[in-house]
Structure 1
Amino acid sequence: MNKAKGVAFSYSFLLPSFILTVVLGIYPIMWAMRYMFYDYKGYGTEKFVGLANFERVIMDQQFWESVTNTFIYAGGKLLISIPLALILAVILNWNIKGRNLLRAIFFMPTIISTSVMAVVFFTIFNSYNGILNQFLMKFGLVKSAIDWLGVDFAMLTIIIVSVWGAVGNYMLLFLAGLQNIPNDVYESSALDGANKFQQFRYITIPMLGPVMQMIIMLAIINALKGFESIMVLTDGGPIGKTNVMFLYVYKLFFPPAGSTASTQIQEFGYGSAVAFVTAVIVGMITILYFYGSKRMNQYE
């Protein structure tokens, strides 16, 4: 009996997390899955429409443009943040003066609120009185202000902001992997005549393989579902050039005030269908990555 009470007491510590998971996780998912098959605006009566919402998704040009924008955004973020994080981790793994301070500085952006970070960068990249344009014009690097949040540079700007916020986290994970590589391996290779580049190419990179797979997986998921900084900086504009999948879904559920777009009215039913398709796309990419990384491990 005492053992049973002990087990019950132990499981009671899990109860708050379980309740939060059900209320804030499982229930909203089940709610959305139900309304995928309904025309429901958040008020009034709900009308069963079967697969009509999914047919609308297939024909929705704005949604598929947001998918393309998401891939561009995620690809740019990955191509910059992962190599940069690895380079910083290798450098800060050396026995250099002030490395702990530098590690803290590079990691600091990851603990700053995404919205706060985006507001700060908005003051930097503002086209009219932004700090960056003032700096460039003061030193004669440009003749006129650059529209960093305009059609030509908006995607590049949000990629830069996202890299700044993510690279410190990936750097820390790479550092943990580097510190698990025995020094004996490097010393043995040095006795055999291997230089620093050869050690990096044939020792560091292969032994970081498992850590790198995890980091790339996290980076892919975070890049595909991230939209908070984009919402603050550009709100998906201009003319939808930075509108990504999850921002599009968000606007269907919570349309911006005074919007004249197709998201002017709350679309709970259609938004649920779009959210489901978005989740399927993210899931398929994750599965493809798992399959590809597993295949690569087999050929090592």
Structure 2
Amino acid sequence: MKKYKIAVVGATGMVGRTFLKVLEEVKLPAESYTLFSSARSAGTHLTFMGKDYVVKELTETSFDEGFDIALFSAGGSTSEKFAPIAAKKGCVVIDNSSAWRMDDNVPLVVPEVNPDDIKWNKGIIANPNCSTIQAMVALKPLHDKYKIKRVVYSTYQAVSGAGLAGYKDLENGLKGEAPKKFPHQIAGNCLPHIDVFLPNGYTKEEMKMVNETRKILGDQSIKITATTVRVPVFNSHSESINVEFYNQFDLDDLRKTLENAPGVVVQDDVEHDVYPLALDAAGKNETFVGRIRRDESVESGVNLWVVADNIRKGAATNAVQIAQKLIEQWENK
């Protein structure tokens, strides 16, 4: 098997450091790794694969040395500028920002859901929003079997989804300090406000879930609404997902469908208080599903409780899994 040259852009950030943890676990067939960051963080020393790496400054000539794959988690403006530069040099960028997700020429990929979309990339592959990723892992097998008509998302999203500044706001808020990242105190509070508000009254985060779900499932007809809420939890997003199907379903069959789905772990034994918890999902790569019950208010509906580590499966792990699939496709050509 060929060995590949891999770049990590945004290596010093919360997701970037998790890229490195996941890469240590997965061990891609890499010839070399090079770590990049902004000028502010360049020169940082990071221990990776048992070696000391000095993080380099990302510049317009950084990709001249010829990388095969670059994992980006450095924000939308950085991706907008540097991803096309990397792609022109023959590197495939797997981008964690929102910059390219809704571009018709860029595949938006969850490897358990739509890995074949990787094949038509033109040098950039988008990682979906963290809250969308875990929902897709749970919903794709159900859509395939029962055909989804409508989805109602209600999310309970951890502060780490807002980066280190969000994490610090909760830490400091528990000490009585004023928030710096969020518009209101997050400690002991819930904020129905993630990203900016749009003219339709939804937030950008909510519309990301609507639009990304349709793109990933390849079905623009699905009716979707969302309310996304920031909660005082450090890590792991939790979601209440209400789904209405066109087709009838047997609840035991639906549960078995989820149990057999890639990347899904069903935790659903309410008699013994077993259901997915944010604390238990933290540090894991799977998507956990529980509270599986029929929605008795519609003809063919179900309620799900879906939990995943937003920094791992919601960002770093998903990107590394895309890289794995990409390499598999290259090797099988």
Bin for the TM-score computed over the shorter chain: under 0.3
Higher strand share: 2
Relative to total residues, which structure has the larger helix share, 1 or 2? Answer: 1
Give the number of the structure whose alpha-carbon radius of gyration is greater. 1
TM-score, normalising length: structure 1: 0.23
